[in-house]
Amino acid sequence: MKTKKSWASVLVASVFAFGSSLSAQAADLSGKTVEWVIPFSETGGSAKWANFFAPLLSEELPGNPAVVVKFMPGAGSTKGANWFQEQSDGDGTLIFGSSGSTQFPYLLGDPRVRYEYKDWNPVMASGTGGVAYLNAEAGTKFDGSANNLKDMTFIYGNQGATRLDLVPALAWEMLGINVEHVMGIKGRGDGRKMFESGEATIDYQTSSGYLSGSAEMVESGKAVPMMTWGSLDESGNIVRDPTFPDMPTFKEVCEKTDGCETSGEAWDAWKAFFVAGFPSQKLAFLPAGTSQEIIDMYVKAFDAIKARPDFAEISAKRIGKYPMFTGAGAESALASAITVPDPAKQYVTGWLKDEFGVELK
């Protein structure tokens, strides 16, 4: 004997079917465009990083949407990050890329920061390195130490005192090098342009920016590599950068330079901000309010990119030989990127006041 279904059971079934239909639609981005917002100019390392991943992500997301990288430079990346903080209920068509220059103002309590990393959804993180280099004149004096550079005055294009540029700035001060900072450039790519034109005489780029631009200047003799910031081994020790194994690290150069110490307050502060800014430097986020299904969709897509048989080869040429993290790994990477011991913060805060007149509360 057949029984009639109650209106309640029919309603529940209808709601479930409707919800399932919405879920299926949410997991398919056919015909849509994904905007990947980078809070820097189009010439820097973050641009190179996002432009490398964008077409690969398009291939792996359901429906193969176009993934377009857009740039929102300003205030050392805080302009774009503040904008992203206001976005919510992501439908899968917006992702945001941050870097150490976005993390450091957050860590240091920069008053321009109105964003909260803990509200965002990290889906991918990748490490990077950094290479500092000199103009040809200074390069002839560099012998693996900074001793012969101390009688020179260098010019450097700086994004801002509380940005990722504090890592090279503090390193150069520890080496005893006199560097005059031209403040307020919109990205490291703009710093490289200053160097190329002769307006700057010392520069640094993250690995992707160095590989795609600065390496050509080295090959032509217009620039001479000085050092990398290094990489971390499993015990947390600084070792040579796997992308640039023939270059000395800052630690090695410091050990050979008179007056530079690889222990003490300055070294501990430098290393703490290096760890926060480079091993987990580039992160991709979905906005607050994004459903778990869409988060999982992106994690799956980035996992598929990492699993490509040619990924190690193509990534080494474009962004360097660094680990890539997804899902829980990306969340752990974010935690390490926004965590710095209080003594290191206190040292850097005092140094920023003394060196640049920047007061942070």
Task: Kindly tell me if the per-residue pLDDT of 7 is higher than 70.
Answer: no
Tokens of 141: 């004096």
Q: Above 80 in pLDDT, residue 360? A: yes
Residues 163-216: tens digit of each pLDDT: 999 999 999 999 999 999 999 888 899 999 999 999 999 999 999 999 999 999
Q: What's the rounded mean pLDDT across residues 141-169?
A: 96
- What are 131's strand-pairing partners? 205, 228
Region at 70 (left for phi over 0; alpha for psi -120 to 50; beta for the rest): beta
Tell me what pLDDT residue 113 has: 95
Q: How far apart are CA 274 and CA 61, in angstroms?
A: 33
pLDDT at 27: 72
Tokens of 333: 């990477």
Give me the chain's average pLDDT, please. Answer: 91
Q: Which residues contact 281 (CB under 8 A, 6 or more apart)?
A: 99, 100, 126, 127, 128, 164, 206, 337
Taking CA atoms, 172 is separated from 112, 156, 157, 291, 323, in Å, by 26, 11, 14, 45, 27
Confidence of residue 361 (pLDDT cuts 50, 70, 90): low
Could you identify the residue written with the tokens 């639609």? 25
**Across the strands, what pairs with 286?**
121
Mean pLDDT of 22-39: 80
**pLDDT value at position 76?**
79
- Output the pLDDT for position 14: 41
| pLDDT at residue 352 in the model | 96
Is pLDDT above 70 for 16?
no
Strand partners, 285: 96, 122
Show Cβ contacts of residue 332 under 8 Å, excluding neighbours closer than 6 positions.
325
Where does 127-222 show beta strands of DSSP type E?
Answer: 130-135, 153-158, 178-183, 202-206
What is the pLDDT averaged over residues 48-71?
97
The predicted-structure confidence for 234-254, as pLDDT tens digits, reads as follows 888 999 999 999 999 999 999
Give me the pLDDT at residue 15, please. 38
Q: Are 29 and 37 in contact (CB under 8 A)?
A: no
Contact between 262 and 255 (Cβ < 8 Å): yes
Residue 123 has pLDDT above 90, yes or no: yes
Do 103 and 277 meet the contact criterion of CB atoms below 8 Å apart? yes
Check pLDDT > 70 for residue 295: yes
Confidence at residue 129, expressed as pLDDT on a 0 to 100 scale = 95
pLDDT of residue 222: 97
Closest by CA position to 276, among listed 78, 124, 113, 101: 101
Burial grade of 86 (CB within 10 A; 0-12, 13-18, 19 or more): exposed
* Residues of the chain above pLDDT 70, percent: 93
The conformation of residue 309, written as its DSSP 8-state character, comes to T
Question: Span 130-277+343-348: which CATH code?
Answer: 3.40.190.10
Ranges in the chain annotated CATH 3.40.190.10: 130-277+343-348
Residue from 137, 226, 225 nearest 175 by CA? 226
d(CA 348, CA 129): 21
Q: Going by DSSP bridges, is the β-strand pair 66-71/33-38 parallel, antiparallel, or unpaired?
A: parallel
User: How would CATH label the architecture of 9-128+278-337?
Assistant: 3-Layer(aba) Sandwich (3.40)
pLDDT on residue 246: 97
